[in-house]
Structure 1
Amino acid sequence: MKSFLFLLILGFSAGSAAQAQSVATTAAAAPGPDTTKEVLLVEASCGQCKLGLPGKSCDLAIRLNGKAYFVDGTTIDSHGDAHAKDGFCQAIRKAQVQGEIVENRFKATYFQLMPEPAATGK
């Protein structure tokens, strides 16, 4: 009985830790988009470095219909090194997203960074 209780507690702890990790990365770790809602293809980058938004730190933003919005629900660091050659502070990337604009911010429920196109050799 004690070993069963121990395994039960151990399993609960592991599940809680996994859930906490999932919540920490939020939309970045979402298993997939909501099939009942439209998936949008947007430009994603650092709001301050590349999309002209105000601020002094590097924060994830998207450009939707020509307007930039900071993103809530995932972070700039959830998608690799922002300062790498292909990072958000160096490049504007494509992303598939779901969510809504609330108080001039994009509340992401799904965020999937698209792979960089392969370089063409000339």
Structure 2
Amino acid sequence: MKNLISIVVLFVCISVNAQDSSVSEQAKQKPKTQIVEAACGQCQFGMKGKGGCDLAVRIDGKAYFVDGTDINKHGDAHAADGFCSAIRKAEVVGEIKNDRFVVSSFKLLPTEVHDEHEGHKH
């Protein structure tokens, strides 16, 4: 009987330990970094907003307003290369929650400059 109880206790301990390690593996997984299109949701992506201009990203063809950063934190939105005038590329980390993109990292990538005389990028 003692052996049976010992085996059951050992089995339970192993099962609990296996569950703990799978949870810790999931906790270690970080949201991936991805390159997305970023612009003013209203001006460039045709989204309905609350008024004014709001930062949005387009992921897999679908646009989402952004939480966690602001359109004005990344330069003049109304400049020639600003979010209201152009769609830019950004490197982001975050996740979609409640049909919005909750960003934990947002890095605007430089615009590509073309040399009209030589026909290549700098």
Calculate the TM-score normalised by the size of structure 1. Answer: 0.69
**Aligned residue-pair number:** 88
Structure number, greater radius of gyration: 2
Alignment partner, residue 69 of structure 2: 74
Moved more, 102-111 or 35-44: 35-44
Alignment partner, residue 32 of structure 2: 38
One-letter code aligned to 1:116: T
Whole-angstrom distance in 2 between the partners of 1:83 and 1:102: 28
CA apart distance, 1:38: 1.4
Alignment partner, residue 47 of structure 1: 41
RMSD between aligned residues: 1.3
Alignment partner, residue 16 of structure 1: none
- Picking from 103, 109, 115, the partner of 2:110 is 115
Detail structure 1 runs of 4+ shifted over 2 Å in the superposition: none
> Identity, % of aligned pairs?
55
Q: Does the 8 Å CA contact 2:40/2:54 hold for their aligned counterparts?
A: yes
Matched, 1:84 2:83: no
| 3-state SS of paired residue (2:75) | coil
Whole-angstrom distance in 2 between the partners of 1:106 and 1:37: 12
One-letter code aligned to 2:33: V
CA apart distance, 1:52: 1.2
Q: Which runs of 5+ in 1 are unaligned?
A: 1-34
One-letter code aligned to 1:38: K
Calculate the TM-score normalised by the size of structure 2. Answer: 0.69
| 3-state SS of paired residue (2:45) | coil
